[in-house]
Amino acid sequence: MRRLSLRSERGMTTVQVAIIIPAFLLWLMLIVQFGLWWHAKQVANAAAAEAVDAAQTPTGTEAQGVDAARSFLDEAGNLRHVTVIVDRGADTVRAEVKGEAPQLVPGFDWGVTAQSEAPRERYIPESGR
C-alpha cells in the first residue's frame, strides 16, 4: 500500500497567516479610523452649536461665537487644523466648523465639516407682538 505524501503543502499555514494577518490589521485600523472620524464629526457639530448659542443672543457678536466654539474645541480636542466661521445676519446666525480628524490610516482625507443655524434672538416689545 502506498502512503500519500503531503510534502507539497508543507508551510502552507505560514503563508496563509502571512497574507491574512495584515489584511485583518488593516480592516481593524479602518474600523478604529471610522470611530475617530465619527467622534470628530460629533465634536464639530457640538462646537458649531456652541458658536450659534453664543452669537444668537441679543448682545452676542460673531467674535463671541468664534470664541465659544474655540473654547469648546480646546476642551474636547480630537480636531486639527480647525476653522470656525460665524455669520450673524439680520434674522439668523450661522456657524461653520471645519477640521481634520486624527489620522490612523494614511492616504485618506478625514476632513470634517459641521454647520449650525438658528434664528437671531431679539427683544420685541409687547405692543409689537
C-alpha–C-alpha distance, residues 16 and 14, integer Å: 5
**What is residue 1's predicted lDDT score, i.e. its pLDDT?**
58
Q: Is residue 7 part of a domain?
A: no
- Does some domain include residue 42? yes
What's the number of domains the chain is made of?
1
In this model, does residue 114 exceed pLDDT 90?
yes
> Is 106 domain-assigned?
yes
pLDDT of residue 125 exceeding 90, the answer is no
Q: What is the pTM for the complete model shown?
A: 0.80
User: For the CA atoms of 39, 42, 48, 49, what is the dihedral angle to 10 degrees?
Assistant: -140
pLDDT of residue 14: 84
pLDDT, residue 104, reads 87
> With contact defined as beta carbons under 8 Å apart, do 98 and 83 qualify?
yes
Residue 8 has pLDDT above 90, yes or no: no
Q: If pLDDT is split at 50, 70 and 90, which confidence band does 127 have?
A: confident
Selection from 33, 31, 53, 49 nearest residue 100 by Cα: 33
Structural domain of 124: 12-128
The kind and range of the H/E element at 55 are helix 12-55
Q: Is residue 65 part of a domain?
A: yes
| Residue 113 located in a structural domain | yes
